Amino acid sequence: MPDAALLERFNIAGPRYTSYPTADRFVEAFGHADLEAAYVQRCSIPALANRPLSMYIHIPFCEALCYYCACNKIITKHKERAAPYLVDLERELALVVQQLRMHTGSASGRGDDGGRAGMLSQLHFGGGSPTFLSDEQLTQWMARLREHFDFTPDAEVSIEVDPRTVNPARLQHLRALGFNRLSFGVQDFDAAVQEAVHRVQSTEQVFELVHTARQLAFESINVDLIYGLPGQSQASFGQTLQTLVALKPDRVALYAYAHLPERFKPQRRIDSLRLPSADEKVALQALALQAMNQAGYVDIGMDHFALPDDGLAAAKRKGLLHRNFQGYSTQPDTDLIGLGVSSISKIGATYSQNAKDIESYRDALEQGHLPVVRGLALSRDDLMRRDIIMGLMCQGVLDIASIEQQWMVDFASAFAREWAQMRTFESDGLVQLSHEGIEVTAKGWTFVRAIAMVFDRYLQEAQRRAQFSKIL
């Protein structure tokens, strides 16, 4: 277990590395034509064109405002607002399918009417609250996706669930549609904390839903918790952790609350005087790490934990973890199609992000364009450093010989500054250094973001760090 001094020292701001370079590096000069060119390049090479895809679909609607939330969302109780948005989503899907069929068809000889647009190995509905949609709307959308895509036998099909919007019957419907993973947003079991952040749901309700999900044979159940919320204390959060351990979800995402009311308007409703102090927040994190360890959870990295028999834990043991905009994954690294407002795509050596508001998103679609408003074409240095950072984040390893061979560089001269910084982590027992490379220790997994940050060229300017949430 890391000591309090280390937790305090690394209580700094930094990116989560769901990508490298991170989204703050995207530029508006990258537009829909650049993304279309990336599709052409991907689909012109059969080995790439036939590789399975990952897909993320953003549903921005929520029925109620959670004060802590920094997601791209629309608060409304008017369910009819989802219908025109789903029409827009279908337009975007049609444009993506057109790109995939048109160019893949020419490479494979099928022609641009060649039926399927590809294989999906990962599908995730996020938000907002995807369960804002009705059962009928979710049914129609899953049917639409299956019209265009096949699913791999081991495909991860997941959806974020607001416990307040579902019941056992709805879970049964989700399972029938092919969803095999659920993520429940709980945040805290304490009633006073729930009131303070305007997200009230009973413990009994959550237990019933998780019990039902197990009966329905969902392959993995995740629960989100947040520490650093108003009203949390070591006593109250300790009780929440006891409740979590009793619930025993397959996976736990334990996030640190970042209070940025100047950037996220809903957070202005939170009484900052009720927030835990910096020392108290560190103590809450230490309490959580201890509870997860004692309950037998495997520390996957950053703020994710999994039971030893869960696929994430198995992937970590085998060195097969991957990471994308959806977080840690057991699926091999794939291109990612993001659909919906603010969604991010990764196609080849590019990242692209959709318009963040529905009006701009719809306007682009009405012009027949993919709704891209910014993105990035990665440089050779970006790609090399991405390999290094993702290797550390996922496998906890940097193999010098592999980097030198793949990128034709002399590691010692190219990364002399970074290697010197690693000596500090070595003295703290967080990494082991050798002529072969870097290995993150068990103690160092808690601080893997800080370790990876050393190789982030864009963070060499210290002032950039203030743009990110704290890493712990």
Both 91 and 226 in one domain: the answer is yes
What contacts 213, CB < 8 A, 6 or more positions away?
171, 182, 221
Task: Report if residue 471 sits inside a domain.
Answer: no
Task: Report if residue 360 sits inside a domain.
Answer: no
pLDDT for the residue 8: 81
Cα-Cα-Cα-Cα torsion 18, 21, 22, 24, nearest 10 degrees, comes to: -160
Both 126 and 19 in one domain: the answer is yes
Write out the binding residues for S-adenosyl-L-methionine: 56, 68-70, 127, 160, 187, 199, 224, 258, 344
Helix (H, G, I), strand (E, B) or coil at 463: helix
Long-range contacts of residues 149-153, Cβ cutoff 8 Å, at least 24 apart: 149/53, 149/55, 149/116, 149/117, 149/118, 149/119, 149/120, 150/116, 150/118, 150/119, 150/120, 151/119, 151/120, 151/121, 151/123, 151/178, 152/52, 152/119, 152/120, 152/121
Task: Report if residue 469 sits inside a domain.
Answer: no
The residue among 301, 318, 336 that closes a domain is 336
Handedness of CA 225, 226, 229, 234 (dihedral sign): positive
Write out the binding residues: 56, 62, 66, 68-70, 127, 160, 187, 199, 224, 258, 344
The residue among 312, 336, 360 that closes a domain is 336
Q: Which domain holds residue 424?
A: 380-459
pLDDT for the residue 469: 59
pLDDT for the residue 188: 97
Both 32 and 131 in one domain: the answer is yes
First to last CA, the chain: 14
Helix (H, G, I), strand (E, B) or coil at 297: coil
pLDDT for the residue 108: 42
**C-alpha span between 16 and 263 (Å, rounded):** 18
User: Comparing C-alpha atoms, which of 466, 430, 460 is closest to residue 445?
Assistant: 430
Q: What is the CA radius of gyration of the chain?
A: 22
Token pair for 468: 């990110």
Helix (H, G, I), strand (E, B) or coil at 207: helix
Task: Report if residue 14 sits inside a domain.
Answer: yes
For residues 252 and 223, the answer to whether their CB atoms sit within 8 Å is: yes
pLDDT tens digit string along 193-207?
A: 999 999 999 999 999
Q: Say how many domains are in the chain.
A: 2
Token look-up 């950039």 returns 464
Q: Which CATH number does the domain housing residue 428 bear? A: 1.10.10.920
Both 90 and 186 in one domain: the answer is yes
Token pair for 216: 């329905």
Task: Report if residue 357 sits inside a domain.
Answer: no
Task: Kindly give the pairing relationship between strand 350-354 and strand 344-347.
Answer: antiparallel
pLDDT for the residue 72: 87
Both 329 and 388 in one domain: the answer is no
What contacts 18, CB < 8 A, 6 or more positions away?
323, 324, 325, 326, 327
Write out the binding residues for [4Fe-4S] cluster: 62, 66, 69
Both 198 and 327 in one domain: the answer is yes
Kindly report the number of other CB atoms within 10 A of residue 74's CB atom. 18
**C-alpha span between 323 and 291 (Å, rounded):** 25
For residues 48 and 42, the answer to whether their CB atoms sit within 8 Å is: yes
Both 25 and 169 in one domain: the answer is yes
Both 188 and 280 in one domain: the answer is yes
pLDDT for the residue 238: 97
What's the pTM value of the predicted model, to 2 decimals? 0.91
Both 189 and 255 in one domain: the answer is yes
Q: What residues of the chain score a pLDDT lower than 50?
A: 106-113, 463-465
**C-alpha span between 440 and 267 (Å, rounded):** 35
Task: Report if residue 162 sits inside a domain.
Answer: yes
Both 62 and 134 in one domain: the answer is yes
Token look-up 């890391």 returns 2
Q: Which CATH number does the domain housing residue 138 bear? A: 3.80.30.20
Token pair for 357: 């508001």
Kindly report the number of other CB atoms within 10 A of residue 253's CB atom. 19
Task: Report if residue 272 sits inside a domain.
Answer: yes
Helix (H, G, I), strand (E, B) or coil at 332: coil
pLDDT for the residue 435: 95
For residues 275 and 228, the answer to whether their CB atoms sit within 8 Å is: yes
**C-alpha span between 253 and 225 (Å, rounded):** 6
Task: Report if residue 127 sits inside a domain.
Answer: yes
Both 145 and 253 in one domain: the answer is yes
What contacts 271, CB < 8 A, 6 or more positions away?
196, 230
pLDDT tens digit string along 9-65?
A: 887 778 888 899 999 999 999 999 999 999 999 998 888 888 999 999 999 999 999
Both 174 and 74 in one domain: the answer is yes
| Sheet with 431-433, side-by-side order of all strands | 397-399, 437-440, 431-433
